[in-house]
Amino acid sequence: MPNGVAKQNLPSKTCPGCGRPFTWRKKWARDWDQVVYCSDACRKKR
């Protein structure tokens, strides 16, 4: 049995920069509510 959560069950958001959906990452665990963009490139081009 694998540990953790299935990728289909992770929370996701839509990036306002590119319009594509992106899913939760472990490095965003503490500040998922403040994450807006999917990448630094989208944040810079906003």
**Domain ranges (residues) in the chain:** 13-45
Q: What is the mean pLDDT of the chain?
A: 90
Least Cα distance to 22 among 30, 9, 11, 33 occurs for: 11
Q: What is the pLDDT of residue 22?
A: 95
Residue 46 has pLDDT above 80, yes or no: no
Percent of the chain whose predicted confidence (pLDDT) is above 70 = 96
User: Which residues have C-beta within 8 Å of that of residue 18, sequence separation ≥ 6?
Assistant: 38, 42
* 3-22 pLDDT, tens digit each: 777 888 899 999 999 999 99
**Could you tell me where the DSSP H helices lie in the chain?**
40-45
pTM of the model: 0.76
Q: What is the pLDDT of residue 1?
A: 52
